[in-house]
Structure 1
Amino acid sequence: MTPDNKTIVQHAWKAFATHDFDTIAAFFTEDAEWLAQPENATAVFLNGTHHMVGRAAIADFIANGFSKLFAQDVAIDFRGFYAEGDRVIVEETMRATLSNGNAYHNDYCFVFELRDGLIHRVREYMDTARGHRMVFG
């Protein structure tokens, strides 16, 4: 039995926590995209982009780049997974200790779009001003 889109996204979040490139990459289409707000604190800190394109770029960020900023005590409190058709919405709060020692606490909303059982596009929304204060303030 093929899992539904909501279950696929829930399994993807578990894969993200492994920080294993191949495990993470398996959840994305080859041409997947991950879009966040321009100039968000994570992209600025890592001197990266707010628009990752391709399975390899996304998996590399989650497996290797993420922990360069979110150094320890990462905890995600999921508030909801909502699915309709090929879209899954995830509401969450993330807490962590940053590499600069600051505490991080921010709310997120993700919109996952799936195609043929794989994640094709992710749109990420967060409080960018709050993120900048915690990372650079």
Structure 2
Amino acid sequence: MTSPKDIVLNAWKTFSSRDATRIAALFTDDAEWIAQKGNATAVALDHADHMIGAPQIARFIAQEMHKLYSQVDIAFRGVYADGDVVIVEERMRATLPGGKPYENDYCFVFTVAGDKIREVREYMDTRKGWRMVFGEGA
């Protein structure tokens, strides 16, 4: 059996494929991805900050987030596992529409069920993200 840590690390590789079918297969049918309410990505894309179901999560990762972020570069700072829970610390760099740079630190808490991801809780510096997406005066 594959370890939860390996399942999550494989997921990150698959996310970069932008193949919604392959991404959806990583999640349980009733999976949830929960981000902070009112985060800049959700507001800018007029998108939910709480996604439910593998198809919705996969569509966001494969297609929708790329309407806001291009040239995405993810750098892991740490990956920690305890039982079925895996924590990923990362820095995301990307380019926003109009060529503005985006850079923010994230922490993701994954819960794995069997060989699939059941839940992701996403944390980021919401104020920093808001300023980069909407400008200093926002």
Q: Who is 1:78 aligned against?
A: 76
2:107 alignment partner, one of 75, 98, 109? 109
Q: CA deviation at 1:25?
A: 0.6
Unaligned runs of 5+ in 1: none
Displacement over 3 Å in runs of 4+: none
Q: Who is 2:125 aligned against?
A: 127
Q: Distance in 2 between matches of 1:50 and 1:25?
A: 18
Report the residue type matching 2:63 in the other structure.
N
Indicate the RMSD between aligned Cα atoms, in angstroms. 0.7
Q: Distance in 1 between matches of 2:42 and 2:106?
A: 15
Q: Who is 1:97 aligned against?
A: 95
Q: Who is 1:64 aligned against?
A: 63
Q: CA deviation at 1:100?
A: 3.2
Q: Distance in 1 between matches of 2:7 and 2:36?
A: 25
Q: Distance in 1 between matches of 2:114 and 2:122?
A: 21
3-state SS of paired residue (2:32): strand
Structure-2-length-normalised TM-score:
0.96
- Mapping 1:26-45, distance limit 5 Å: 26-45=25-44
Q: Distance in 2 between matches of 1:90 and 1:28?
A: 17
